Structure 1
C-alpha cells in the first residue's frame, strides 16, 4: 500500500480540497445560512401575527430556559411510557448536538485560533479526546437513527402512520442517516489514506473502517495527491466524492430546517420554554368584549397556539393515549393540531378560506370531532414537546358555542344550569334533600361559622347513587368531629365541564355567584366531593377578573375583585381533607380490616390535573383492603369517558371507555377476576362506571364503590350513611 504516514497528532481540515473548491464551499455555506435565516424569520414573523396570549409566557425567562434545557436534554418526556423511544431519541439528540458542537469547534479552530491568533489547539491530547468523543457520539447518533428506521419501516409502529404522514418524514430520517453514515465513511477514508496511524485508534469507528479498506486492498495515491485524480477507483477519489456529497447533504438539511419537519428542533425547544405549567388545569379567560371571536379564522389563534402547531413532530403519543380515539370516536389529538397547521400553510400559499369548525364536511375541523374530547388531558401529559392541546380544543368548542353548533343534549344541560343552577334541571330547593336521611343535621354554612365549607356538587345532591356517597362523607366528617356546612340552595353547578364544552359566559355567571356567596360565609377551607369542582375552584376561579363583568346587567353578581388570587383560601378534594384527619388522629382507621381485594381508578381531574395520587390510596389501604393497581394508573390513568361533556352525550363507540376500564380491572390486574370492588373518588366516575358495569355485562362480577363508602364500612357506620335506593 502506497501511503504517507501522518506524523503529527492532528489532521488537515480541508484535505483534498482545492482553493477554488474552498471558495465554492463557502459560497454555498453563505447561501445555506441565508436561506435558513430567512425561513426562521418567516416562521417567527407569522407567530407575531397571531393573537396575543392572555397568560405570561416569557416571565422569568432565565428560569424557563434552564427548565426547558433540563427537560429537552434529559429526554424525560420521551422516556415516559416508552423506553425504546426514549433511548432512540436520546441517542439521536445527544449525537446530533455533539456533532454540531464538534463542527463549531472546527470553526473556532480554523477562523479564531489559526487565522486570528496564528495558533492551534486542535492537536495532541485535545485532538485525541475530540476524535474519541465525536466517534462515540456519532455512533450513538447512527444507532439512534437505525432504531428509528427499524421502528418506522420494519415494525411499522402504528403511531407513526396516519394521514399526515408524508414524504417529508421519510426525507427527514433518511437525510439524518446519510449524514451520520457519510461522516463515518469520510473519516474512514481519510484515516486509511493517511496510513492508518496508531493515534487514530481513538477514532475507533473510522479506524475500523480503514482496516476494512485495507483488507480489500483499496488503492491509494497518498495524501500528497489528494483530490479528484482521474477516473480510477482509489481512496483519494472516493474521499473527494464523499466530502462533497456529505457537504451538499448537510447544506440541504440546514437550509431545509425552517421549511419542514426539522424545524421542530427549534420550535419544540421554544414551545417548552413558553409552556404554561398549569396548562389544561386552567384555561384562558375570554374578554368581556362580546365582539371578540374565538376561532372564526386562523388569526384568532394565539401565537403560542401557532407555535404548538409547528412544534408537533407527528410522533402520535397523544393519539395513542387518547380514550376518545381508543373508543373509535372521531377525535385524534394529533390530527386536530396538524389539520390546523396544514390549513394555515395552505392559506399562506393562496388557498381558500374555510370555516375553522362546524358540522359537516366543509370545515377544517368537524364539530363531532371536538364533541368527542373528554378533556382528560392525557394527550398533553404524553406530549414530549408540551403542546397544549386542550387550549386549542377549548377555543374550537367556544367557537361552536358562539355559532350555536352544540349537541342537543348539551344545550339541554346549558338550559338546566341557566334556569335551575344544576345540570339535572331539578329545583334548587331540593339540593339539600339528601341530608334528610342522615341521623344528624348538616349545618348551613350561610348561617354559622364552619371549618369546612363543603361544596357537595350536582351528582351527590341529585343522583340517587351518588347521594349514598354524600351521606357517607357526611358521616365520616361527623365521626371526625369536624365543623362543616353546605350552601343548600345557594350551591350551583361548579361550571368546570360546561366551560370545557365552550360555554364560557355561563361559567363566569356561576363563578361570580359562588365567590360572592363565599364572601358572606365564615370558613377556613373549601372541601369538594368532585375532582372537577376541586380543580376549577383551585385553579380557575382565582384567574377570573370579575371586575370585567360585574357591571354587566346579565351577570347575577356584583363581586368585582379577583378571588383567592394569593391562595389564602385552601381548596381540598375530600380525600386530601380526610387523609389529614386520619394523620391528625381525628378519624381512627387503625385496626380496620376490610377483607376486600380492590383496584382504584385515578380520576383525571384529581390525578393528571392536580398530581394527587397518594391520598386516595392511603385511605384505601388504611381500611385494610388489598389494593391491586391497574396497569394504567396515576398519570397514565384511562378516562372514564365522562369529562368534557361526555357524561351527557351519546356516542356510537365500541367499547365505551368505562367498559374498557372495567375489563382492564378484571383481566389485566395481577388479581384479575379476584378483584371484588372497583374504587372511585369522583361522582362522575361513579355514574360512568355504574353504567359501564351494566352495558358491559359486568354486574355480577364487580361492584363500583367510592372510597368514602369503604371508610364508612371500615368504621362501622354503614347503616347510618346508606339509604337503599328503591331501584336497587
Structure 2
C-alpha cells in the first residue's frame, strides 16, 4: 500500500502497524468473513426445512427489494407511535450504514483503484468530504446508541424487558457503543500523534479529541525525555493498542452477526422484502387433505413464519399496543413469536419435542394465551419489521380446534353455527324479524333484482341493541331511494371470526353457502353492516379454492369456481356506500342539525384491516356533530375486545378493553367529560361498549350510538325506522 505523508490531504491507512501486524490483521479478517458467511448460510438454509408458504413472497423481486429499501432507509415504521425510538433507530441505522459505506470506499481505493489505476481517489476534496461525513454520521451513531442505553438502562422502558431479554441484548448494544467510541478514540490518537495536520480539522470529533490529548500533555514518542525505555505511555503505543482493540471488536461483531441478535440486520430486511401486503386481512387456506396438520410440530410452520421468528428484534412494540396484554390477558405477541423460535432452536440443539400448543402448561404455547388474541392486528401494524403475527396465531388456533381443545363457550358457538347458521343458535326463520317494526317492506334479493345486496349480519339480526342499528340503516337506504334487498333465512354468519379462532372448514362451508346463494341473485354491490363481514367478503372469499372442497360430501355446496377473482363485485361497508350516496346527492342530510359532542372509535376490521378512516368521519361531521378524536385513533385505535372470538369468551381481565377505551374517551380526549356520545360503526363494538359502559360504571356519563343512528336522527326518519323520536 502506498504510504501517504500526513502533510498531504489524505492519510496513511495503516499508520503505526508493522508488516507482521498487517499480515495478522488480514488473516483474522479472512477467518471472520468465513465464520460470518458460514453462519449466514446456516441461518438461511434452515428456512428450507419450513413448509411452503401459500402466498407469493418473491414475485416481482426487484420491486419488492426497492420497496423494502424505502421502508428501511426512511425508518418510517420506527417512527410509528414513537418519535424518540424513531430518532434513536434512525441515528444508529444511518450512522452504521455510513460507516459501512466509508469502510467499503476505503477498501475500493486501496484494493481496486490503487493497484489497477495506479492512483488514489481518497485524497484532496474527496478525502475532506469523506472525513467530515464519517465524523458527522459517526457522532449520530454514538448519540443513537447513547439514547438506546438511556432508554434501556436508565428509564428501563417496560417494553424492552421480558422473559426473552438476555445477555445477548447487552452484548449487542455495548459492542456497538465500543465500536463507535473506539473509532473516535483511535482517530483522535492518530491525529494527535501525527502532529495535528490542519486539514484534519474536518474530522471535528477526532480533531477535538486530539486537542484534548494535547491539553492533558499526553507524551509523544521522540519528544525530549520520552523513549521506549522510559516506560511512559505514549500516544503512539496507545494508538497501537486502540487500533488492535477496535479491529478485534469489529471482527467479533461481524463474526457474531449470524449467531445472535445482530442477525436481525439481515433477517429483518429479508422479512420486509417477503411481506404480504394483505397480511392479516386474508389468512392462508387449509388444504382439503385430511392428513395435513397445522401446528402439530415446528415443521408445520412455513419458511416465512420461521423467518418472522428470526426477524424479531425484541423491541416490544407489538407488546405495548396489544389490548390483550394491556388487559392482563395471558398474551404477549412478542413472547409467542420468540417462544416458537426458542423451541425451534432447542430442537436443533438436540432438545426434546413438546406439544406446540395445549392446555395445562406442558406445551410451548398455552391454549389460554391464544384464546386471548383479539385478532385486532395492532401487533402487526406496530411491528417495524413486518412480522405477520396473525398468520402464526391462526395456525396455533387451528391446531387447538383440531385437538378439540377450544373453550366450551366457543364449542357452543360452533354448534350454533353448524345447526342454525348463526352464532346465537336462534332459528334461521327469525333472521329478518328485526324488520317487523319498519314502516316499509324489505325486498327479497333472492327473488328481485337489486342494486345493493345487503348482508345484515348476526348481531343486527338477533341482538336487540343492534336491531336498532339495522332498522336505522334500512331507513337511510329507503330515504336515499336505492334498491336494496336481503337474503332473509338464506343469510348465515359470515365466518370471519369463526375462522380466526381456528374453525377453518366451518368457515369454508359458510363461504361456499354464501357465494352459491349470491350466484342465484341479481345485484351490483354487496353492502355489509359489520366490518368483519366486509373484510372476509372482500379479502378472503375470493381466495378460497372452492373446487378443492366441492366434491366433499360434508360440504353443502356445489360451487367449484373462484368467486370474485377479478373484483367484478364491489364489496362495501355501509358507511362507504352511504358516503357515496351523500356525495352523489342521493341522500341529503338536511334534517335537524345535531349538536352533540362525540368521539369516534375506529373498528379494527374497517380501519387497520382495510384503511377506511374517512367515510365514517365524513358522515358524522355531515350530521352536524362536533367530532373530537381520542388520542388513539385511526391506525392506532384500541380494540374493543370482541374480535378473534373475544365476544363469546369470558376472561379475567382488568381493565376490560372496552372500559379502558371509554375511560380514554372521557379523560384523554380534548373535550374530556363534555363528550356525550361514543360513536361506533360495528355491531361487535356496540355490544362490547354497551357492556363496558355497565361494568365500568359509565352509564350516566356517555351514550353508545352507531353512526346510522346519528344519521337517521339527522334526517328525521326515526319513525320510518320504527324508533322512538328523540325529544328536542
For this structure pair, what is the TM-score category when the shorter chain's length is used for normalisation? Answer: over 0.9
**Number of the residue aligned with 1:438:** 438
Tell whether 2:317 aligns with 1:317: yes
Distance across 2 between alignment mates of 1:113 and 1:222: 35
Q: Is 1:268–1:311's contact at 8 Å kept on the other side of the alignment?
A: yes
Distance across 2 between alignment mates of 1:407 and 1:40: 42
The TM-score with structure 1 as length reference comes to 0.98
Distance across 2 between alignment mates of 1:685 and 1:227: 81
Say which SS state the counterpart of residue 527 (structure 1) adopts: strand
Distance across 2 between alignment mates of 1:413 and 1:700: 33
CA offsets, 1:506-537, max 9 Å, x none?
Answer: 00000000000000000000000000000000
**Number of the residue aligned with 1:677:** 677
Question: Structure 2 matches for 1:426-505, cutoff 5 A?
Answer: 426-505=426-505
**Number of the residue aligned with 2:202:** 202
Say which SS state the counterpart of residue 678 (structure 2) adopts: strand
Q: Is 2:5–2:11's contact at 8 Å kept on the other side of the alignment?
A: no
Offset at residue 692 of structure 1 (A): 0.6
Say which SS state the counterpart of residue 644 (structure 1) adopts: coil
Question: Structure 2 matches for 1:23-422, cutoff 5 A?
Answer: 23-221=23-221, 231-422=231-422
**Number of the residue aligned with 2:643:** 643
**Number of the residue aligned with 1:694:** 694
Say which SS state the counterpart of residue 172 (structure 2) adopts: helix
Closer/same/farther in 2, CA of residues 248 and 227 from structure 1, 3 Å limit: farther
**Number of the residue aligned with 1:575:** 575
Distance across 1 between alignment mates of 2:243 and 2:29: 14
Distance across 2 between alignment mates of 1:353 and 1:227: 65
**Number of the residue aligned with 2:516:** 516
Distance across 2 between alignment mates of 1:209 and 1:291: 68
Question: Structure 2 matches for 1:583-622, cutoff 5 A?
Answer: 583-590=583-590, 592-622=592-622
Closer/same/farther in 2, CA of residues 121 and 227 from structure 1, 3 Å limit: farther
Distance across 1 between alignment mates of 2:26 and 2:550: 64
Distance across 2 between alignment mates of 1:228 and 1:39: 43
Offset at residue 197 of structure 1 (A): 1.1
Offset at residue 231 of structure 1 (A): 4.3
CA offsets, 1:164-220, max 9 Å, x none?
Answer: 100000000000000000000000001101111111010000000000001111111
Offset at residue 671 of structure 1 (A): 1.0
CA offsets, 1:605-629, max 9 Å, x none?
Answer: 0000000000000000000000011
Offset at residue 232 of structure 1 (A): 2.6
User: Which deviates further from its counterpart, 471-480 or 587-596?
Assistant: 587-596
Distance across 1 between alignment mates of 2:179 and 2:219: 25
Say which SS state the counterpart of residue 721 (structure 1) adopts: coil
Distance across 2 between alignment mates of 1:120 and 1:720: 85
**Number of the residue aligned with 2:546:** 546
Say which SS state the counterpart of residue 116 (structure 2) adopts: coil
Distance across 1 between alignment mates of 2:227 and 2:375: 62
Q: Is 1:5–1:197's contact at 8 Å kept on the other side of the alignment?
A: no
Closer/same/farther in 2, CA of residues 604 and 382 from structure 1, 3 Å limit: same
Q: Is 1:229–1:236's contact at 8 Å kept on the other side of the alignment?
A: no
**Number of the residue aligned with 1:709:** 709
Offset at residue 434 of structure 1 (A): 1.0
CA offsets, 1:422-468, max 9 Å, x none?
Answer: 00000101101111111101000000000000000000000111000
Offset at residue 721 of structure 1 (A): 1.4
**Number of the residue aligned with 1:532:** 532
The TM-score with structure 2 as length reference comes to 0.98
Distance across 1 between alignment mates of 2:373 and 2:622: 35
CA offsets, 1:82-131, max 9 Å, x none?
Answer: 00000000000000000000001111111112223321111111111100
Offset at residue 595 of structure 1 (A): 1.4
Distance across 1 between alignment mates of 2:709 and 2:79: 37
Offset at residue 592 of structure 1 (A): 4.2
Distance across 1 between alignment mates of 2:591 and 2:11: 76
Q: Is 2:718–2:724's contact at 8 Å kept on the other side of the alignment?
A: no
Closer/same/farther in 2, CA of residues 228 and 299 from structure 1, 3 Å limit: farther
Is there any run of 5+ residues in structure 2 with no aligned partner, and where?
none
Q: Is 2:221–2:227's contact at 8 Å kept on the other side of the alignment?
A: no
Distance across 2 between alignment mates of 1:443 and 1:494: 21
Offset at residue 5 of structure 1 (A): 8.4
Offset at residue 722 of structure 1 (A): 3.8
Say which SS state the counterpart of residue 720 (structure 1) adopts: coil
User: How many residue pairs end up in the alignment?
Assistant: 720
Offset at residue 590 of structure 1 (A): 4.2
**Number of the residue aligned with 1:559:** 559
CA offsets, 1:626-672, max 9 Å, x none?
Answer: 00111100000000000000000000001100111111111111111
Say which SS state the counterpart of residue 599 (structure 1) adopts: strand
Offset at residue 346 of structure 1 (A): 0.7
Say which SS state the counterpart of residue 598 (structure 1) adopts: strand
Say which SS state the counterpart of residue 718 (structure 1) adopts: coil
Q: Is 2:359–2:405's contact at 8 Å kept on the other side of the alignment?
A: yes
Distance across 2 between alignment mates of 1:530 and 1:580: 18
Distance across 1 between alignment mates of 2:607 and 2:370: 23
Distance across 1 between alignment mates of 2:297 and 2:202: 58
Q: Is 1:677–1:703's contact at 8 Å kept on the other side of the alignment?
A: yes
Distance across 1 between alignment mates of 2:39 and 2:455: 53
Is there any run of 5+ residues in structure 1 with no aligned partner, and where?
none
Q: Is 1:5–1:194's contact at 8 Å kept on the other side of the alignment?
A: no
Distance across 2 between alignment mates of 1:230 and 1:723: 100
User: Which deviates further from its counterpart, 437-446 or 226-235?
Assistant: 226-235
Distance across 2 between alignment mates of 1:42 and 1:621: 57
Distance across 2 between alignment mates of 1:622 and 1:286: 44
Say which SS state the counterpart of residue 117 (structure 2) adopts: coil
Say which SS state the counterpart of residue 643 (structure 1) adopts: coil
Say which SS state the counterpart of residue 705 (structure 2) adopts: strand
Distance across 1 between alignment mates of 2:199 and 2:164: 49
**Number of the residue aligned with 1:13:** 13
